[in-house]
Amino acid sequence: MALGEFELIERFFRRPADVQCARRGDVPLGIGDDAAVLAVPSGRQLVAALDALVEGRHFPAGTAPQSIGHRALAVNLSDLAAMGATPAWFLLSLTLPAADEKFLEGFAQGMLALADAHGVALVGGDTTGGPLVAAVQALGTVQTGAAITRGGARPGDLVYVSGTPGDSAAGLQLLLDPAAGAALDPAQRRWLLDRFLYPEPRVTLGQALAGLASGCIDVSDGLAADAGRLAAASNCGLHIEAERLPLSAALRAFAGEPGARLLALTGGEAYELCFTISPDKTAALAAQLDIVKCQATCIGSVTAGRGIDVRESGRPLTLDLRGFDHFASP
């Protein structure tokens, strides 16, 4: 007999109270009623983000269900991280062509493993039939007034990026064309594929940056395009030195040095944080990076100009910085 909507929720998404994330003390009422009741601690503000993953748009048809579940939550935790928020809860709107148990098992496992890793609780959602879409709304909190925005960068601040951007875009290329990347060893291939399939949202880094960074954005459309948005929101310009971009050995092996720089600047789905910080706070930043065990690299500075100026050996690099726009004409 086909799995009904109620059984599906009970079996895959409602969890016994002894599971770590279900034990949060701030969910008086979770899955099962008409809506969840959540307790926002006093002195903190609620931070909310919602992103949908659509099959064929955000991941190729046939992508492992674990990866779809992981990414649907990861991209939203990344948005909360960019605000300096501490994630707490999330809701899932899942549209499925069929109640395929194998798919649901993998999807729930990928999503709930990431939820447990960050101690966030699934508190509700919606389940409908249709083309495969996984939309997550993530909710977190930040100390009142302490959210990091895109608008706080000031001329003279330094620009940093976490991790090694470009890897995820290379991973997607490998997923779409397994014959690509002939120069990669198996570990490098796995590394790049996993950066696309299982990105690690920079949750602890984002929290550490609250009170430290002047501005922050998460890199979903490409480093240069998203850094440009940060600059525009701050009414500043950004100067980026391409030589300083942190490139993984795997990305260099995949694309060569110039190709790797280009992927790092324009490749989407990186889910790294690009942030700005006053130069007098770099020692405090180094201490925080040590604590949260995250790499972040200074790639340039904020200027009094407008727009983003990428230079390689002093020469301007012209890039297609439009980022991905679902409704743009080609």
- In this structure, the number of other CB atoms found within 10 A of the CB of residue 33 comes to 9
Query: Out of Mg ion, ligand ADP, none, which partner does residue 296 contact, by CB within 5 to 8 A per kind?
Result: none
Q: Min. distance of Cβ 72 from Mg ion in angstroms? A: 18
Q: How many chain residues interact with Mg ion (CB under 5 A)?
A: 1
Write down the least CB distance from residue 75 to ligand ADP, Å.
Answer: 17
Q: Residue 13 or 160: which CB sits closer to ligand ADP?
A: 13
Among 2, 18, 25, 34, binds ligand ADP (CB under 6 A): 34
Among 21, 22, 27, 31, binds ligand ADP (CB under 6 A): 31
Cβ of residue 42: shortest distance to ligand ADP, in angstroms? 26
In the complex, least distance from residue 5 CB atom to Mg ion, rounded to whole angstroms: 9
Question: Would you say 9 or 225 has its CB closer to ligand ADP?
Answer: 9
SS3 sequence of the chain: CCCCHHHHHHHHHCCCCCCHHHHCCCCCECECECCCECCCCCCEEEEEEEEEEEECCCECCCCCHHHHHHHHHHHHHHHHHHCCCEEEEEEEEEEECCCCHHHHHHHHHHHHHHHHHCCCEEEEEEEEECCCEEEEEEEEEEECCCCCCCCCCCCCCEEEEECCCCHHHHHHHHHHCCCCCCCCCHHHHHHHHHHHHCCCCCHHHHHHHCCCCCEEEECCCCHHHHHHHHHHHCCCEEEEEHHHCCCCHHHHHHHHHHHHHHHHHHCCCCCCEEEEECHHHHHHHHHHHHHHCCCEEEEEEEECCCEEEEEECCEECCCCCCCCCCCCCC
For residue 300, give the nearest of 291, 312, 318 by alpha carbon.
312
Which CB, 52 or 113, lies closer to Mg ion?
Answer: 52
Q: Which is nearer to Mg ion, 31 or 245 (CB)?
A: 31
Residues 3-22 within binding reach of ligand ADP (CB under 6 A): 9, 13
- Range in contact with ligand ADP (rule: CB under 6 A) among 30-38, 63-71, 173-181, 221-229: 30-38
Closest to 165 (Cα-Cα) out of 224, 233, 114, 79: 224
**Single-letter residue type at 294:** C
Q: Which is nearer to ligand ADP, 10 or 320 (CB)?
A: 10
Site map 100..139 versus ligand ADP, x via CB under 6 A: ----------------------x-xxxx------------
170, two tokens: 């290379």
Write down the least CB distance from residue 29 to Mg ion, Å. 15
Q: Which does 34 bind (CB under 5 to 8 A by kind): ligand ADP, Mg ion, none?
A: ligand ADP
- Cα distances from 55 to residues 132, 189, 314, in angstroms, run 6, 23, 41
Binding segment toward ligand ADP, per CB under 6 A, in 29-37, 241-249, 254-262, 270-278: 29-37
Query: Which of 5, 101, 126, 257 is the binder for Mg ion (CB under 5 A)?
Result: 126
Q: Which residue's beta carbon is nearest to the bound Mg ion?
A: 126
Q: Shortest gap between Cβ of 104 and ligand ADP (angstroms)?
A: 9
Nearer to ligand ADP, 34 or 280 (CB): 34
d(C-alpha 69, C-alpha 94), whole Å? 10
- Per rule CB under 6 A, is residue 50 in the interface with ligand ADP? no
Q: 176 with 60: CB under 8 angstroms?
A: yes
Sole window of 49-57, 126-134, 288-296, 303-311 interacting with Mg ion (rule: CB under 5 A): 126-134
Interface residue list for Mg ion (CB under 5 A): 126
Residues that bind ligand ADP (CB under 6 A): 9, 13, 31-34, 92, 94, 122, 124-127
